[in-house]
């Protein structure tokens, strides 16, 4: 969040400059921290991770957009690829339910 001392509107360019300065200082700390922890990561990878964790926890698209500072939903949607484990579990449940349904109807027809 950017705090402004006056109550007058802040120009879009001033807001962008403040965000750029924040990003620059964040990135300058991130890389040395990763090196020190011997972790291979980039700020971009951290953004993907944040978006996916928010998505996995059920956060709304608007929340994800705000966290990533996106003004367009299209920009945030690319970070929201389906979690493969969730897809697998859902597929397994659906397949099991279908097998149970088909098994019951087959047994009913043979009687």
Encoded tokens for 51:
């978006």
How far is residue 67's CA from residue 73's CA, in Å, rounded to a whole number?
Answer: 12
Asked if residues 64 and 72 have their Cβ atoms less than 8 Å apart, the reply is no
Q: What is the mean pLDDT of residues 39-51?
A: 85
| pLDDT for 10 | 43
| pLDDT for 6 | 43
Q: What is the value of pTM for the model shown?
A: 0.50
How far is residue 65's CA from residue 52's CA, in Å, rounded to a whole number?
Answer: 12
Asked if residues 64 and 78 have their Cβ atoms less than 8 Å apart, the reply is no
Helices (H), strands (E): how many in the chain? 5, 0
């Amino acid at each position: 969040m950017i705090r402004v001392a006056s109550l007058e509107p802040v120009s879009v360019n001033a807001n962008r400059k403040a965000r750029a300065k924040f990003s620059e200082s964040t990135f300058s700390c991130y890389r040395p921290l990763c090196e020190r922890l011997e972790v291979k990561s980039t700020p971009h990878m951290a953004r993907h991770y944040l978006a996916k964790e928010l998505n996995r926890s059920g956060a709304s698209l608007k929340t994800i957009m705000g966290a990533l500072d996106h003004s367009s939903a299209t920009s945030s949607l690319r970070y929201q690829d389906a979690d493969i484990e969730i897809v697998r579990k859902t597929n397994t449940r659906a397949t099991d339910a279908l097998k149970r349904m088909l098994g019951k109807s087959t047994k009913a027809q043979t009687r």
